[in-house]
Each structure stands twice: as C-alpha cells, then as structure tokens.
Amino acid sequence: MTLLKNKKLIAAVAAFLVLTVLGGVFFLSRRDDSAPSPSDDITTGSDLPVLSPEDIGMEVTVRKDGKALMFELTKADDIELVEYTIEYEKEIDGETVPEGIFGLMEIGKDGRTDTDYRDFGTCSAGKCRYDNVISDVKIVLKVTKKDGKEYQVTKVVKL
C-alpha cells in the first residue's frame, strides 16, 4: 500500500512540474517582444527633431583617468526633463561588446543640470571594475522642453 501511495505522490509532483514548465514556456512565448528597450526610445529610429549640443550648452568632461565622464547643460532654462544613454564598446576576452549607461535628469523637478561622473564599468562598496573601452563614447539625449516638445541631441566624445 505504501508503494502505491509513493507512486501517486511521485505522479502528482511530476504532473505539477510539467504544468509549471509548460506554463512558463507559454508565458514567455506570449511576451510582447516588440516592446521597446530603454535605448530604443532614445537611440534608434528616432523621429524627434534634432538640436545640436551647443543649442543646450552641453559641456562634457572626461575624468583625468579616462574611466568616466560627466556632462552639464548650461542652457537649460526651458528644459523639463532629459533622458540619456552613454554608449560605447568594450573588449571582453577578445570580443567586442556594446555597453550602455542610462540616466535621467529631472531638471524641472530638482533644478540640477549636471550629472555625476558616470563610470565605464561597475562600482560596489568602493571598489570599481572598469571596462576596457575600445571605441568613442556616444551620448544621446532625449530632451523634453517645458512646453512638452521633445528633441534629440547626440554628441560623440573621444577618450
């Protein structure tokens, strides 16, 4: 009788696992793969009008060691919000890999028109692991003015 109970328990567990796996596969296959990634909104196929970096007073500062940069907007009186990506290529084990840093400047909310230094790599608990950057750095901004109009600004920085 115990053997029969064990077989029923094993069958129930197996059925549960099969249903869980099938449910997961169904859920993942139903995901909307056409949903844009954060960088799609800013960098690819943008129909936004273009402003030059000079139009918004964009000043980029590369840190002396070349492992980070920051930027400031000196003509930001009419800017509400800036979404940005900092894009570059790095080398890992001989392979070229794209990398990006995403950020948001809520100028209309906090009045801040500059970023902190954004590291090319990761930092945790005061210890940083820097990327081996092998390309120019491209900064792409999606600028929302106080009147609600949106613009794109692109600047390429050589390290």
What pLDDT does 8 receive?
64
Gap between the Cα atoms of 145 and 108, Å rounded: 9
Distance of CA 140 to the CA centre of its chain: 11
pLDDT of residue 46: 73
Q: Is the pLDDT of residue 62 over 60?
A: yes
User: Across the chain, what does the average pLDDT equal?
Assistant: 83
The confidence band for 126, taking pLDDT boundaries of 50, 70 and 90, is confident
Tens digit of each residue's pLDDT (9 = 90 or more) over 63-113? 999 999 999 999 999 999 999 999 999 999 999 999 999 999 999 999 999
Following DSSP, what letter does each residue of 11-42 receive, concatenated? HHHHHHHHHHHHHHHHHHHHS-TTSPPHHHHH
CB atoms inside a 10 Å sphere around CB 119? 16
**107 CB burial (10 A radius; 0-12, 13-18, 19+):** buried
Answer yes or no: is pLDDT of 35 > 50: no
Q: 105, 52, 59: which is closest to 83 by C-alpha?
A: 105
Sketch the domain layout of the chain as residue ranges: 1-35, 39-157
**CATH code for 39-157?**
2.60.40
Task: State how far the Cα of 137 lies from the Cα of 86, in Å rounded to an integer.
Answer: 7
Sign of dihedral through CA atoms 64, 69, 75, 76? negative
**Global pTM?**
0.71
66 φ/ψ angles, rounded to the nearest 5 degrees? 75, 10
Quickly state the pLDDT bin for 22 (edges 50, 70, 90): very low
Tell me the C-alpha to C-alpha distance, in Å, between residue 23 and each of 27, 28, 36: 6, 9, 24
* Choice between 15 and 49, residue whose per-residue pLDDT is larger: 49
CB contact at 8 A, 60 and 137 = no
Q: Is the pLDDT of residue 117 over 70?
A: yes
